[in-house]
Structure 1
Amino acid sequence: MDVSQNLETEEDLLTCLRIWFYHPQQHRKGPYSFLSLGHPLKHPADEPLRIGRDAQSCTFALADPRVSRKQVALQAFRLPGTSEMVFSLQNLSRTVKVTVNGSELDFLERMDLPGKALVRFSDYEMLIVREAGEAKQSFEIVLDVLTVPPSQETSNWKPSTLDMVDSGTQEIQPIEAKVPSESDERYSSLEIPPIL
């Protein structure tokens, strides 16, 4: 095995955090203009990943004045005695309510995330899915956008006739990235597991 194959194998072992965004006005407002959608990005595991509207202080900025300057922070950590990397989410906003799987977080409160979590703030919904890998010095992040709210799969959602298709249900489908630059099989199709 040559060095490039070995390096590729090590890359495949990194934990990957997939974050899908949804906003009911996303096609008109353009809140994701600062985000690199559909492309794997590396983030240092020892630094918090911040999401908010301030591009200077946040890792990922949303172009929306109703989002707090610093809305939420995701922090990677290892479980004792394992090489598994997991994440916690902290509410950084004093004014905008944040919920994780229906549980509200007050200002500076933090919650450990399960492998799949639905995070809500303002009119945004974020589906966060952790793909297991080994805890390293960094992890991968893939951001994308959903065409329908991920909360449709939870009991909080009431279907309407507009949301139904021939089968009576609608699958959540991500919006394809605007510029697919590489043909990396790991990211060629974004499948969203159902919310439990």
Structure 2
Amino acid sequence: MESTLTVLQVSLYHPTLGLVAFAKVPPQLRHDTSRLLLGRGQDAHVQLQLPQLSRHHLSLEPYLEKGSALLAFCLKVLSRKSCVWVNGLPLRYLEQVPLSIVNRISFSGIQMVVRREGGASLEAFVCYFHFSSSPLIYRPKAQETDEWENIVKKETSPVLGEATHDLLGSPQGSSQTQTAGSSQALEEQEK
């Protein structure tokens, strides 16, 4: 009786090249428990068609966690040139991180989501590749607020002969610095 295999569901997206970047990626790949290489090289198990990638850009390395009967995986960066982001953590050459059940990975414009489904087999695992036409990783954009405008409006234009103050209340153009204690004393005197 054959044991069930650990499954990696891998979704891929590239914003400009789309499916062209993944033309040589098979829909399904069964692999032994050696490391799985991703890159542009002919000997990479998963070939990605991007010139800025290294021949061996990164690897998924299966291992057995202590006290567990299921395969776990870590991602290791093999590229000297670029950074790989895993769940918001930047990794550089030869750095690695264990993968959780769901992982968001981005590198060289590629967005990749890897979902691990446990299986009992310790001899092999299988990857199912899915190709997306829309982004997989949502990055919230900075929101504009009018906070700065409110602060600036509170400042009054100087009357002729008065010193101007910056946003912290220090005189502009003055080379003097004040300690926290002396600035507090000045504020109390002004009240």
When normalised by structure 1's length, the TM-score is 0.68
Match of 2:118 among 132, 138, 141: 132
Q: Distance in 1 between matches of 2:137 and 2:31?
A: 27
Match of 1:50 among 37, 45, 68: 37
Task: Please tell me the residue identity of whatever aligns with 2:41.
Answer: D
> 2:154 maps to what in 1?
none
Task: Please tell me the residue identity of whatever aligns with 2:47.
Answer: A
Match of 1:98 among 54, 79, 84: 84
Q: Distance in 1 between matches of 2:87 and 2:95?
A: 15
State the SS of the aligned residue for 1:24: coil
State the SS of the aligned residue for 2:137: helix
- Quote the RMSD (CA, aligned, Å): 1.7
- Between structure 1 and structure 2, the one with the greater Rg is 2
**CA displacement at 1:69 relative to structure 2:** 1.5
**CA displacement at 1:147 relative to structure 2:** 1.7
State the SS of the aligned residue for 1:64: coil
**CA displacement at 1:66 relative to structure 2:** 1.4
> 1:168 maps to what in 2?
none
Aligned length: 142
Q: Distance in 2 between matches of 1:34 and 1:52?
A: 11
User: What runs of 5+ residues in structure 2 fail to find an aligned partner?
Assistant: 142-191
Superposed CA offset, 1:115-166 (max 9, x none): 11011101001100101111420011111111211112xxx234xxxxxxxx
> 1:163 maps to what in 2?
none
**CA displacement at 1:31 relative to structure 2:** 1.0
> 2:22 maps to what in 1?
32
Task: Please tell me the residue identity of whatever aligns with 1:157.
Answer: P
**CA displacement at 1:81 relative to structure 2:** 2.2
Q: Distance in 2 between matches of 1:67 and 1:148?
A: 21
Displaced runs of 4+ in structure 1, greater than 2 A? none
**CA displacement at 1:17 relative to structure 2:** 0.8
Superposed CA offset, 1:47-96 (max 9, x none): 1001000022x111111101121111000011112211110000001111
Match of 2:60 among 64, 67, 74: 74
Superposed counterparts of 1:137-148, under 5 Å: 137-148=123-134
8 Å Cα contact 1:50-1:72 kept in structure 2: yes
Task: Please tell me the residue identity of whatever aligns with 2:61.
Answer: Q
8 Å Cα contact 2:70-2:122 kept in structure 1: no
User: What runs of 5+ residues in structure 1 fail to find an aligned partner?
Assistant: 1-5, 159-196
